[in-house]
Amino acid sequence: MQLKQIVFKKENINNEYVTYENALKPKIVFSNNKLRDLFDNISEELFLKIDKLLEEYLNNEELCNNDDGFFPQPKYMTGEWYLSKIYMDEDYLSVETCFIGTDTGKKDDYLGLEVCFYFDKEKGIWLFDSINSVAL
């Protein structure tokens, strides 16, 4: 499956939960302003890594296939996704993504994938931890 990121332009003034329907910019939660600056400095490299991790996850037939009763099923996925939330504290970084599906007969939220990282203090870098999935 080829992925295509959708970038919503509508300001998220109240830092609300983001959906395909409300099309808001991502909800942003940083435990302090220093972390916002840190995130801005690593975000380009981080999003390249996230793109690769998402593609690997969705193209892994053990995690994503069209078998009856299985979730998620690629046959319902458009490949489009957007950022819904970014959360960061000193030791933990979570980037929540939402994928669009057509299982209801129209485009709507289908699958959420949270990509998690932890800060390795010895190496001074953010390392991939896990991907958590949720049906939307």
Q: Provide the CB-side half-sphere exposure for 67 (13 A, CA).
A: 6
Q: What pLDDT is stored for residue 31 in this prediction? A: 86
- Percent of the chain residues topping a pLDDT of 90: 82
Counted domains in the chain = 1
Of the candidates 77, 83, 86, 105, the residue with the CA atom closest to the CA atom of residue 20: 83
> Is residue 65 a part of any domain in this protein?
no
Q: What DSSP assignment string belongs to 102-123?
A: -TTSS-EEEEEEEEEEEEETTT
> Is residue 101 a part of any domain in this protein?
yes
> Is residue 4 a part of any domain in this protein?
no
**Mean pLDDT score, 114-124:** 94
pLDDT digits (tens, 9 = 90+) for 125-136: 899 999 999 887
Give the chain's mean pLDDT: 94
pLDDT digits (tens, 9 = 90+) for 38-77: 888 888 999 999 999 999 999 999 999 999 999 999 999 9
Q: What pLDDT is stored for residue 136 in this prediction? A: 77
> Is residue 127 a part of any domain in this protein?
yes
Q: What pLDDT is stored for residue 41 in this prediction? A: 86
Of the candidates 136, 135, 118, the residue with the CA atom closest to the CA atom of residue 126: 118
> Is residue 3 a part of any domain in this protein?
no
> Is residue 120 a part of any domain in this protein?
yes
**Mean pLDDT score, 114-123:** 95
Q: List the structure tokens of 60.
A: 């892994």
**CA-CA distance, 39 to 30, in Å (whole number)?**
9
Which structural domain, as residue segments, surrounds residue 96? 23-58+74-135
